[in-house]
A and B are shown apart, each in its own frame.
Chain A
Amino acid sequence: MKKLFRIMLLAGLVSLSACSSIEPWVKPYERANLSDPAMRFDRNPVSDAYIKHVHEAREGARGASGSSGGGCGCN
């Protein structure tokens, strides 16, 4: 089972390397809209980090939101 997993993993990685030669379907000269500041996921890093900290202090869920560590001031 372990061997099968390794073979599948290696096959997946080799496939990935083969795919890397795929022609990009959005050409570099078509990416002007994507580079617009409004399209950035991290437009306001300080503000985003703060509001994520507020959510983490009030909610049971955590993670997958790029948050930082530290205490919560949540008593």
Chain B
Amino acid sequence: MEINGEIRNELFEYLLRLGDDRLILGHRLSEWCGHSPILEEDIALANIALDCVGQANGFLSLAAEVENKNRNEDDLAYFRDETEFKNLQLVEQPNIDFAYTIVRQFFVDVFSVPFYEELSKSKLEDLAGIAAKSLKEAKYHLRHSKSWLLRLGDGTEESHKKIQNAVDDLWRFTGELFFENEVDEKLIKDNYVPSAKAIEVQWNEEVEKVITEATLKLPEEPNTSLRAGRNGDHTEHLGHILAEMQIVARSHPGAKW
């Protein structure tokens, strides 16, 4: 793949963000395996986790290729430290309960569908390809998280309370979905990637619509956080995820099975 040297660093950084978001979210979802409320939901969450890790694999492979420093996707996933991870703080938030898991997923899915629609038009063919494949998966993920949000919000008194609680707690992490800096500016200008900011209005409308239909309320406070995962600043949760996720690869470097 021919990469214009002038954008190599930006593209690498951007692909890490995409890959890390999905790797960390996929890992979080995988923690449900064997613990879900019912067998069918166990399989559903494991499916979505695998989709996310599969997408991460695509983005991180491409990142490694773009970086061209003899690293592969596994090196990027297992041998980077916390501050080198560029994922959103939203995706590293703990599962806590099923409501938190669904709300976190819903916030991400509502973003992912329009984002992948735009990303699949990237002039970088490999990137457009991963986006097109991921779009189909994201549409299903949204159907899943949205239908649970509606059912739990408009369900029993207890389910309503739990899901409203999750909405209130996770809301402050959602502003970061629309993070942009000079990395984005350069890539957007050259038609490599879409603008995340441009999706914000649509995201707000859709989230508000579904939240209202679920008889829930969005918090009135702004959804901006002080620090950004995109800059490598993370909540205390990421370190624990990485410790668990990376220990095998780091204890047995180069192991094959």
Partners in one complex: no
Binding site for B on A (CB under 8 A): none
Binding site for A on B (CB under 8 A): none
